[in-house]
Structure 1
C-alpha cells in the first residue's frame, strides 16, 4: 500500500510540473554549410552548452535573407557579401560578422570539351564554356553561388541561354550530382565539392582567381523590426561561431583529409 501511494504521489508531481521547454533558435543558412557536413559538427556543442535546439532551414542565400526580412528566422549564415550588405543597410539585419571563407571552383568532366583546364581567369573559362555550348548546370536559385556565377557571366560578357545552359533551382549537392550525370560544368563552393568527392567524377578545372573568393557572414535579424527575434540566443550563437571554440571546430573540420573552411581574421 505504501509503495502504491508513493508511486501515485510521484505521478501526480510529474503531471503537475510542466515539461521543461527547450528554447529553439531558427537559423536560415546556405545549402553549402549543410551539404558539406559542417553544421553537423558546429551545432551539437552549441546546443549542449546552451540547452537549446537550432532549427536549420538550408536554402540559397537569397531565400535565407528573405526569411530574415520576413522575420521567419532569428539569424542567417550566408555567403553573398553584396546581398548581405543590402540586407543590413535596409534595416533587416544587425551586427554582421565575418565567420569563415573558402573559395569557388569551376568543375567539369575530365575530358574538358571546352578546354578550360588550368586557366587562371574564371571569366575566360565561362566564355569558353559558352562558346563551346558545353553543358553547364546552374544553381538557378538566387543563392550565393548563383550570385557569383552571374557575376562571372557578366565579366565574361555572356548572357547564358540555350539548350546547353540548365537552371536546376536546386541546392549545391543536387547540382553536383546533376552536372556529374550530364558530364557538364558547374560552379561550386570548394567545401561541398570536397564533401562530394568520391561520389562524383567531376574535376576542379579552374581555381585561384581572386573573383572566386567565397566569404561567409552571420547576421542577426533586426529585433527592432521583428520583436520576437531571440536576441540573447542569437547573439550567443554568433559569439560561438566567432569564438576560439567555434573557430577551432571550423578549421578542424575535414573531409577526405582536406580542410573545407578557413576562419576569417
Structure 2
C-alpha cells in the first residue's frame, strides 16, 4: 500500500489535534516538545525554558500582582512542565489540565506527594468543564493555535472565563499576527484582532502583550547554531542581552511569540 504525502500530513495533523494522537505521542516520547516549537538542541531547549520562565516573570509583573498565594490553572498543561516554576513563585495551588490522560498520568506520578498540585481531565473545546476551584490565573501556553475552528477558540475563552475569579488573569501564548495565518494543516495563528474581539465579547479586557524572546524558535547563527546552543548558557545570555536592548524578531514572524494578558472584567 502506497502512503501519499496527503496521508502523511493527515497523520501528522491527527498527532497534534486529537486526544489519541497526543496519548500516543506522550507514550512514545519522553520530554516531548510541543507543536510549533522550533527544535533546538537539548541544551538549547533547557535554555529556552529558562527564557520562557523569564518571560513569565515579565508577564506577572505586567499584571501588577504576584503569584504568591494565588490559585493557578495550567490549561493544556501536558505533563506539568511549568509546575516547578509556579511552585517556586509561591502559588497556593496549581491545577494541570489536559485532554491527554497519558500526560496527566505523568504529572500525577511526578507530583503525587505534593498537596499543592492536582490534575484534571479537560479539553479546551468542550462546553462542559466541571471546575472544582476558582482560579486567580489561567495559562494556555503553546496550545491555543492547535484549535481547528474559531468556534473552538470562542469555547476555550468561555471556559477560561468560567474558571477564573472576577478580576483574574488569562495568559495566552501565540504569535498574534496582523492577519490570520494558516501555518500548516494543524496550526492556525489567528490574528490579534480576532483574539481581542473574542476576548471583549466574552468579558475580558486586554492588559497587554509581553514578548517571549529574540533568538529562540529560529536559526539565527546558521552553521554555528549548534555550537552556540551547546556552549554552556551562552545562548540564554545572548538572548537576554538582546531583549535588554529591545531587539525583536521580524514582526508577524513565527518566532515572534508573545503572551497576551487579559483580565476578567465583567460577568457574562
**TM surpasses 0.5:** no
Structure with greater proportional strand content: 1
Specify the structure having the higher radius of gyration (Cα): 1
Normalised by the size of structure 2, how large is the TM-score? Answer: 0.30
> Of the two structures, which has the highest relative contact order with CA contacts closer than 8 Å and spacing of 6 or more?
1
TM-score normalised over the length of structure 1: 0.31
